[in-house]
Amino acid sequence: MEEKVLNRLLQLQERYYQLERSVSLPEVISDKEKFSEYSKELGKILPFLNKFRELKKIEKEILDLKKILEESKDRDLIFLAEKELEDLNFKKERKEKEIEKLFSEEEKIEDKNVIVEIRQGTGGLEASLFAADLYRMYTKYAIKKGWKIESISTHPTELGGLKEIIFSVKGKDVYKILIFESGVHRVQRIPTTEAGGRIHTSTATVAILVEPEEIELKIDPKDLKIESFRASGPGGQHLQKTDSAIRITHLPTGEVVSCQDERSQTKNKEKALRVLRARLLEKKRIEEEEKISKERKEQIGRAKRAEKIRTYNFPDRRVTDHRVGLTVHRLDEILEGELDYILTPLLNLEIKS
C-alpha cells in the first residue's frame, strides 16, 4: 500500500476517535446541529475504518504464519502454512484495492459542496452593483434547487453594491452545476448614475471552489499567521468596539483570507479557515492539472477565472454564454434565478463530451 494512502487511513482513524469522544459530550448532544454534523462525518469515515481494520487483521495473520514458517520443521505444517499465506497475500492485495477504490469514489469533486467568491471587476460602482445582482441571482437559484446558502464574508459598498462576497452552497450536485459559473461575467447597461444615457460595460468575477472537509486537507498551524483587527465599512458597524475580525495568512503560499461578518472571533476564524482550505485545494488541483498537460483539457473552459464566459445585455434583454455560443432573450427571468435556461445546455454538452 502506498504511504500516502496509509497516512490518510491513520488520519481518518484519529479523526474517528476524536468524533466518537465528541458525540458523547453533553454540550455536543444538546447542540442538534453540531451533533448531526459530527454523526454525519462519523458515517462517512466508518466504511474506510472497517476496511482498514479488516486489512490489519489480514496483516496480523500473515505475520503469524511467517513466524510459523520460520520456526517449524514439520513439512506438512509448512506446506499448509505456505498455501494459507498465498491466500492471505491475495486477500491483502484485494483489500488494498478496495480501500483505494473507496478513496477514488470519495474524491469525486462533483459530489462536493462549494464556496463561491464574487468580486467586482472593472467598472467601479457599476461593477459592485452587478456583483450584488449576481449574488441575488445565485441565491434565488439555490432556493429553487433546495440548496442551503451560508454567508462567510461580505464587503458591501455604501450604495448597495458588493466589492466582494464569499458564501458556501450545500446540496445535491452543487459543484457539478455551479462549476460552469466560474469566470468573468460581463454586463452591458445604462448605469443609474449615467445622465447621458450611455451604455457602460462592467465586469464581475465568480470563482467556484470545492469545500474540502478538514480531514481532506490538513494545514499545519505553524504555517498560519493569525491576526485580529477591527471591522470597518458598511455592514461592520456592530463590530466597531471589539477586535473580532480575523485575518489569516498561509505563510508557505502567501494566501490571505479575512472574515469580519461574525461578532465572535472564533466563528470568524472558522469561516476564514474554510475559505483558506478551499483556495489551497484549488491551487493544488491546478498545479496537478498543469503537471499532467499544459493544454486545455476541458471543452468549455472550466474554472478559468480570466475568461469572459457570459454577457448580460440589458438593452436587448439577452444573455449570451460565449463558451457555447448560446443566446437567450430571458434576461429578467435569469436574474430572478432561472439559470437553467443557460446551465442545462452546458450540462448537456458536458455529458456528451
CA angle 146, 148, 150 (to 5 degrees): 160
- pLDDT score, position 193: 66
- pLDDT score, position 111: 64
Q: Which of 132, 309, 134 shows the shortest CA–CA distance to 234?
A: 132
- Of 70, 85, 106, the residue that ends a domain is 106
Provide DSSP, 187-218: EEE--TT-TT---EEEEEEEEEEE---TTTS-
- Of 292, 313, 339, the residue that ends a domain is 292
Terminal-to-terminal C-alpha distance of the chain: 34
> How long, in residues, is the chain?
353
Q: Give pTM, 2 decimals.
A: 0.60
- pLDDT score, position 328: 95
CB 106 within 8 A of CB 93: no
CB 271 within 8 A of CB 211: no
Decide: residue 310, CB within 10 A, 0-12 exposed, 13-18 middle, 19+ buried.
Answer: buried
Alpha carbon separation from 170 to 174, 262, 310, 330, 343 (Å, rounded): 7, 20, 24, 27, 18
Asked if residue 15 and residue 161 are part of one domain, the reply reads no
Asked if residue 176 and residue 119 are part of one domain, the reply reads yes
Asked if residue 200 and residue 115 are part of one domain, the reply reads yes
- β-partners of residue 321 are 310, 326
Strand blocks (E) in 213-260 = 224-229, 245-250, 255-259
CA–CA gap between residue 24 and residue 17 (Å, rounded)? 11
- pLDDT score, position 293: 40
- pLDDT score, position 351: 45
Q: Which of 60, 307, 35, 41 shows the shortest CA–CA distance to 186?
A: 307
pLDDT digits (tens, 9 = 90+) for 51-75: 899 999 999 999 888 888 888 788 8
Asked if residue 114 and residue 183 are part of one domain, the reply reads yes
CATH number of the domain bearing residue 277: 3.30.160.20
pLDDT digits (tens, 9 = 90+) for 139-184: 999 999 999 999 988 999 888 899 999 999 999 889 888 988 988 9
- Of 257, 273, 292, the residue that ends a domain is 292
Amino acid at 63: L
Asked if residue 207 and residue 226 are part of one domain, the reply reads no
- pLDDT score, position 210: 84
CA–CA gap between residue 278 and residue 24 (Å, rounded)? 30
For the chain, what is the domain count?
Answer: 3
CA–CA gap between residue 186 and residue 308 (Å, rounded)? 7
What range does the domain containing 266 cover? Answer: 221-292
CATH number of the domain bearing residue 204: 3.30.70.1660
Low-confidence ranges of the chain (pLDDT < 50): 234-241, 292-306, 351-353
